[in-house]
Copies of this chain bind each other. A is one copy, B any other.
Amino acid sequence: MNIDKIMNNVKDKHQLIHSITNYVSVNDCANIILASGASPIMADEALEMDDITNISHGLNINIGMLNQNKEKSIYLACYKANNLHHPILLDPVGVGASSYRQHFVSSLLKSIHFDVIRGNLSEIKSLVENSLTYGVDTIETITQDNLDEVIEFIKIVAKQFHCIIAISSVIDVISNGNQTYVIYNGHPYMSKITGSGCMLSALTTTYITANKNNLLEACALSFLIMAIAGEKAYDKMIDNKVGTSSYRNYLIDYVSLLTSDDIRKEANYEIR
């Protein structure tokens, strides 16, 4: 993985990343995009989607707090981004939580091509009608014990949607259907703050946008950066005897501070 080149592409291009996202973590997502070296725009009014997509370089769709106004905006931005060949990431937040989200995502996937779909295992399973048949139905967390089954499953899903599938869990798994990155970095404390998944999706969108010809590596590197930031933030939180809110700040801090040397030193992953 050419870490320097992928990171420098983000920092040097200063691209504009458009996010249509939930209002819980919208501030954190804008800040993580800035921390990585790119610029955020979080517009979600349908009447300006055409213009905003025109001046943007990549699109991050997050269905947390989806509402009827945003439905239209998401379609308009996605159609335009597909036409302009801008990378698009879909984060199907809580897609299994309501039939409203389920139907929306199901329709969206029929009309729009996404470059990356990022979620946790249960969200990715919700995208597939008969996940039962893939032998992953009882798996809740990705561990060494079930890694082979998950890799087989993710490859099938990636091929089905012709895109990269990126699953966050204890072990992260990212695949384009042929090659699969397995990432062992990260810290369970990331689930003690809201928006760590949303922030990762924003960061991944930034990385794939600046590295359009190297989507899989860019996606995997963004996961490594967030996971290593999560580890370092935990150490700092313990050292400073603080708690979850400081952890959130340190996590974003480290995304702004980590160098390619830090990543090389800490990265723990394999390609399967």
Contact = CB atoms under 8 A, between A and B. Distances in A.
The residue in A22, A51, A244, A257 that gathers the most chain B C-beta atoms within 10 A of its C-beta is A244
A144 to B, nearest CB: 25
B245 A252 contact: yes
A253 B245 contact: yes
Interface in A58-97: 64-69, 94, 97
Interface stretch (A28-36, A135-143, A154-162, A205-213): A28-36
A59 to B, nearest CB: 15
A99 interface: yes
A169 interface: no
Contact of A250 (B40, B64, B242, B251): B242
A105 interface: no
A43 interface: yes
Interface stretch (A111-119, A171-179, A187-195, A217-225): A187-195
A127 interface: no
Contact of A97 (B48, B69, B194, B245): B48
A243 B253 contact: yes
B66 A45 contact: yes
A256 B44 CA distance: 32
A192 B243 contact: no
A230 to B, nearest CB: 14
B245 A245 contact: no
Interface in A1-46: 22-28, 30-31, 34-35, 40-45
B42 A65 contact: yes
A249 interface: yes
B245 A31 contact: yes
B252 A47 contact: no
Contacts of A248: 31, 245
Given A68-B45, A249-B246, A31 B194 contact: yes
9 contacts: A23-B23, A42-B64, A43-B94, A45-B100, A51-B98, A52-B97, A242-B250, A244-B253, A246-B249
Interface of A: 22-28, 30-31, 34-35, 40-45, 47-48, 51-52, 55, 64-69, 94, 97-101, 192-195, 242-246, 248-257
Given A45-B65, A242-B253, A249-B249, 10 more contacts: A23-B23, A30-B195, A31-B193, A34-B244, A35-B192, A48-B101, A242-B249, A242-B250, A245-B250, A245-B256
